[in-house]
Amino acid sequence: MLLPNFSKVALSYGLLLLLILATPAANAQSPAPKREPFVLGHIDRIKSVQLNEDRVLNIYLPDGYDADPKVKYPVIYLLDGSADEDFIHIVGLVQYLTFPWIDALPKSIVVGIATVDRRRDFTFPTHNAKDLKDYPTTGKSAAFMRFLEKDLQPYVEKTYRTNGQKTLIGQSLGGLFAMEVLLKKPTLFNTYIIASPSLWWDDESLVAQAPTLLKQTSSATPANVFVALGNEGPEMKKATESMVSLLRATPARVGRIEYVPFPEETHATILHRAVYKGFETLYKKQK
């Protein structure tokens, strides 16, 4: 008597399974949504005469750039500006701070300079034997400075509508390079945002040279400088604060110098907050 009942139950489950398998919703996937590219910027490639190589530029143009051909814009030059480095999140800060209801930063063009060899490009020659051994390609910052002056800035000013206001952003070795530019070629930029600069390079020789370099006369309008430092340890803290003191003592070369420590940030995490604070401090529109 049990067998017939078991057969009926099995038959019922079999019919239910067939019904489920036959239902289109159980088998068919939803149609894929229509996808469109999300465009943040575009890529320019230029031939550098000074470096004898091609360089990639990631370019962000502010909202409304194409609407009025008469409007000109400041330019923010970003070291370590590859797509997988700092370009995306720095552009995010620029785009956010230029919202009409925030209006803390003028609409700006961002030029992200994609990295090729940052140790080569961002460092001057060192006499430290260990650095020479560990980093054999270093010491070519003079050539990279010429690239900025003779290749990059002329290209940007010819290709895009710029108003002469130029900001340089650099962190770590990029911060070392930005500080070197400020001391040796101050007219290249009006504003400098420098985060945790690697002033330890070449046994802090740039700090030692700074008094002499800052005495050199310049007819340029003094630059505005924002320096940030993470929790880097006593060596970098001492070197950075010594450099800030020297800059503060030279108002003819540095019109405004702001120094903000971020003790809760590491060398790896400081840049985003430092740039936000730098924009807020130095580049905010006057109401």
When pLDDT is cut at 50, 70 and 90, the band that residue 3 belongs to is very low
Tell me the per-residue pLDDT of 133-168, one tens digit each, with 9 for 90 and over: 989 999 999 999 999 999 999 999 999 999 999 999
pLDDT at 253: 86
Q: What pLDDT, on a 0 to 100 scale, did the predictor assign at position 286?
A: 47
Average pLDDT (2-19) is 53
How many whole angstroms separate alpha carbon 157 and alpha carbon 180?
Answer: 23
In a domain, 26, yes or no: no
Q: At residue 11, does pLDDT exceed 70?
A: no
> Is the residue at 19 inside a domain?
no
Query: What is the pLDDT of the chain when averaged over all its residues?
Result: 90
Please identify which residue in the block is written with the tokens 């550098």. 48
∠ CA 251-256-261, rounded to 5° = 120
Identify whether 53 is part of a domain.
yes
3 state SS of 24 = helix
Mean pLDDT in residue range 257-282: 96
Name the more confident of 244 and 32.
Answer: 244
Cβ-Cβ contacts under 8 Å for 49 (sequence gap 6 or more): 150, 151
In a domain, 272, yes or no: yes
Q: 22 in a domain, yes or no?
A: no
Spatial CA neighbour of 274 closest among 175, 201, 179: 175
Query: Three-state DSSP class for 251?
Result: coil
Contact 165, 74 (CB under 8 A): yes
Give the pLDDT mean for 170-174: 98
pLDDT of 1 over the 60 cut? no
The total number of structural domains that make up the chain: 1
User: Does residue 189 fall inside a structural domain?
Assistant: yes
- Output the domain CATH number for residue 84: 3.40.50.1820
What is the domain range of residue 222? 42-282
What is the reported pLDDT for 28?
A: 61
Which residues fall within 8 angstroms of residue 28, CB to CB, at 6 or more apart?
Answer: none
The whole model's pTM is what?
A: 0.88
CB neighbour list of residue 239: distance below 8 Å, 6 or more residues apart: 199, 200, 204, 207
pLDDT for 82 beyond 70: yes
Nearest to 196 by CA among 144, 240, 149, 242: 240
Model confidence pLDDT, tens digit, residues 186-222? 889 999 999 999 999 999 999 999 999 998 866 678 9
In a domain, 60, yes or no: yes
Please report whether residue 154 resides in a domain.
Answer: yes
Share of the chain above pLDDT 70, in %: 87
Query: How does strand 53-60 pair with strand 109-113?
Result: antiparallel
- Reduced to 3 states, what is the DSSP secondary structure of residue 181? helix
Model pLDDT, residue 8 = 53
Name the pLDDT band for 2 (thresholds 50, 70, 90).
very low
Has residue 93 got a pLDDT over 80? Answer: yes
Q: Which two tokens stand for residue 271?
A: 């840049």
Q: What are phi and psi of 40, to 5 degrees?
A: -100, -30
Return the residue matching tokens 């003592």. Answer: 249
